[in-house]
Chain A
Amino acid sequence: MSTLDLNVGPQHPGSGHMRIIVRTDGDLIVEATPDVGYVHRGCEKIAESRNIIKNIPMLERPNIADSSHLNWSYIQPIEELQGVEVPERGRYIRTILCEINRIASHLYGMAIMAGIFSGHTTMYMYGFGDRELLLDLAEMLTGARMTFSFFVPGGVRRDLPKGFKEKLLETLDYLQRRLVAIDRIFVNNPVFVERGRGVGILRKEDAIKLGVVGPVLRASGVRCDVRKDAPYGAYDKVDFEIPTFKEGDSLSRWLVRFEEIKQSVSILRQAIRDIPKGPIARKSPIVIPRGEAISRIESSRGEINHYIVGNGSDKPYRVKMNTGSFKNLLALPFLLRGVRIGDLPIVYGGLDYWPVEADR
């Protein structure tokens, strides 16, 4: 059998820079090797020569669509080592911003997979247009549309402004109506379902063996979510479910994100109703005591961890970042074996791989 080696990338629409070297026999893919590292900037090395506050804007930029989770994951071990406890209102505000960010990031991921990779431009316009309203909300709260730099050790930087609650509830009503429209036009659409159903199946045993995280894991039938297993912030005080599907194909990965948006809308309604009064931050010194700590946060692409080793100075001794996209990278060569070339965008879009987050 004679095979052909093809290059997918490193520039391709709908995603950052990464290359997949694909070996095909006719139309079927025999072997796929990802080649990553095109956007590696050395964040971990730079973080050792800057103090805690100066690291915040740099370490949240690996994922600009979902930056508040990276920010929280960097701040959590520092607060653990310093012994600072965030007040209740600060925890609720952090949860509100993170859930707004989760809806915006899931709309982005759904728009890219259904819109660019499979050619339905309507979903691209719906996703990005509705995302503008959520970015308006974040701008009202923090002052910036993306990469907010809003969490500092000890709490948050600003309180909820006047008129935020009304605007949030109006936006959530609009979003719920919009989700019904997406349900009617896409989820029951035979053209879209046919492209994704049964493509790139990941069974439960393989998902556990390969160590995938996030919506990819929950689409294969494993009920794991850090917000329920090890609650942080205000997640132990709100009621929500974790959507899981059994099939493990690309369509289920898209549907997990769709269902998670509905759960996030419910969390936001409960959080803005129950938020207590009080201070938003506690004082915290610009020093990391001796010791080491690790954080666990559930971002929209999976579990992210920061492992921080401190040595008593204002600069961290070692910062290790682990993101959901880096863990899901191991599943890409496994899933691409045996699919056709035409299905490669659907499998790649279902994983929602963000190259800058994986390369740091």
Chain B
Amino acid sequence: MSAIEAYLEGVKHLFKKTFTLKHPYQKRELPDGYRGRHLLYMDRCTGCGICAWICPEKTITMVPVSDERAYPQNPEKRFPQYWYVRCCFCHFCTDYCPTAALDYTKDYDLAEYEKELIVWSPERLSKVPEGYEGYRTKFHGWAGVNHEPSTK
């Protein structure tokens, strides 16, 4: 009797929805506050260095920035520079910054072909990343769960 129950349970799968997501052509929609790479607001950073002190992996170094803009809150023009190979994406730097000059983004694909490009300068960190259309999970009662475009 238990064998028949098991077979019927298997037959039900013919009518269930598929969970597979065809990554990278279809990507998941990420929630707000997702821990991707960091976004630097250069008109809020004062160069105090608390982010570099709290970082567990010594990812951050404070470097001088040479451009003509004047930053009144940062007279020495020192900004954080990230060496992303060492980052563990714990975002203690974002939470401990006293002026909220760092922020979360949904950009996670940081692989590069050249070693020098993995060091992100402050100017590069202050560019806002582009978004994409994502897929989110949807439950269908007894028919299971699948992924659907989030704009639907």
Binding site for B on A (CB under 8 A): 50, 53-58, 129, 132-133, 136, 139-140, 143-144, 147, 149, 157-158, 161, 170-171, 173-174, 177, 181, 184-185, 188-189
Residue contact B56 to A181, C-beta cutoff 8 Å: no
Smallest Cβ distance from A288 to chain B, in angstroms? 17
Residue contact A174 to B145, C-beta cutoff 8 Å: yes
Smallest Cβ distance from B89 to chain A, in angstroms? 7
- For the residues of A in contact with B, the DSSP-based class is helix
* A129–B147 CA distance with the chains assembled, in angstroms: 13
**29 sampled A-B residue pairs with Cβ under 8 A:** A54-B54, A54-B55, A54-B56, A56-B90, A57-B56, A57-B88, A58-B56, A129-B19, A133-B137, A133-B145, A139-B34, A143-B35, A149-B90, A149-B92, A158-B33, A161-B31, A161-B32, A161-B33, A170-B139, A173-B139, A174-B139, A174-B145, A184-B6, A184-B9, A185-B9, A185-B10, A188-B5, A188-B6, A189-B6
Q: Which of B6, B33, B56, B144 contacts A185 (CB under 8 A)?
A: B6
In chain B, positions 93-107 with a C-beta closer than 8 Å to chain A are 95, 104
Interface string of B131-152 (1 = CB under 8 A from A): 0000001010010110000000
Residue contact A57 to B90, C-beta cutoff 8 Å: yes
In chain B, positions 72-103 with a C-beta closer than 8 Å to chain A are 88-92, 95
User: Which residue of chain A has its CB nearest to the CB of B28?
Assistant: A136
Residue contact B34 to A143, C-beta cutoff 8 Å: yes
Residue B66 at the chain A interface, CB threshold 8 Å: no
Residue contact B6 to A140, C-beta cutoff 8 Å: no
Smallest Cβ distance from B151 to chain A, in angstroms? 17
Residues of A within 8 A of B95 (CB): 157
User: Which residue of chain A has its CB nearest to the CB of B91?
Assistant: A143
Q: Which of A132, A143, A149 contacts B33 (CB under 8 A)?
A: A143
Residue contact B31 to A140, C-beta cutoff 8 Å: yes
Residues of B within 8 A of A185 (CB): 6, 9-10
Residues of B within 8 A of A55 (CB): 56
Q: Which of B55, B56, B57 contacts A56 (CB under 8 A)?
A: B56
Known: A132-B19, A173-B139. 20 other contacts (CB 8 A): A53-B56, A54-B54, A54-B56, A55-B56, A57-B56, A133-B145, A143-B34, A144-B35, A149-B92, A157-B95, A161-B31, A170-B139, A171-B139, A174-B139, A174-B144, A184-B5, A184-B6, A185-B10, A188-B6, A189-B6
> Which residue, B2, B56, B91, has most C-beta atoms of chain A within 10 A?
B56
Smallest Cβ distance from B37 to chain A, in angstroms? 13
User: Which residue of chain B has its CB nearest to the CB of A188?
Assistant: B2
In chain B, positions 25-45 with a C-beta closer than 8 Å to chain A are 30-35
Residues of A within 8 A of B56 (CB): 50, 53-58
* A129–B10 CA distance with the chains assembled, in angstroms: 17
User: Which residue of chain B has its CB nearest to the CB of A60?
Assistant: B90
Given contacts A58-B56, A129-B19, A149-B90, contact A143 B2 (CB under 8 A): no
User: Which residue of chain A has its CB nearest to the CB of B2?
Assistant: A188
Smallest Cβ distance from B49 to chain A, in angstroms? 15
Residues of A within 8 A of B90 (CB): 56-57, 149
Residues of A within 8 A of B92 (CB): 53, 149
Smallest Cβ distance from B34 to chain A, in angstroms? 5
* A185–B57 CA distance with the chains assembled, in angstroms: 46
Smallest Cβ distance from A192 to chain B, in angstroms? 11
Residue contact B2 to A136, C-beta cutoff 8 Å: no
Smallest Cβ distance from A107 to chain B, in angstroms? 14
* A56–B104 CA distance with the chains assembled, in angstroms: 20
Smallest Cβ distance from B88 to chain A, in angstroms? 5
